[in-house]
Amino acid sequence: MLLSDFDGWWLDTRCGCGRSTQIPIRMLLREWRRETDIGQIARRLRCRGCGARPASTELVDDIQAGAKGYAGGGPVQRIKV
């Protein structure tokens, strides 16, 4: 899973402490080479609240789909990293 294949997607991480963080792939593309494996990036992520590794990390194609009042789009794709 290369970073460049998921431009426009988001990384959705959840930590055991309850904090969740959404990171746009577009932002990661500024810091990492396009052919970087996403798993490699996910392994380096740490929770900003407690410093632990996230309990789960998923790729999501549309982060707004779960938001209140969202009306558009098809089913959301989620891929476990």
Q: Are 25 and 79 in contact (CB under 8 A)?
A: no
CB distance 75 to 66 below 8 Å: no
Structure tokens at 65: 């789909």
> Smallest gap, in angstroms, from Cβ of residue 41 to Zn ion?
18
Cβ closest to Zn ion, residue 45 vs residue 65? 45
Cβ closest to Zn ion, residue 47 vs residue 59: 47
User: Hey, which residues between 16 and 75 contact Zn ion (CB under 5 A)?
Assistant: 17, 19, 47, 49-50, 52
User: Residue 39 and residue 77: Cα distance in Å, rounded?
Assistant: 17
Provide the binding-site residues for Zn ion, judged by CB under 5 A.
15, 17, 19, 47, 49-50, 52
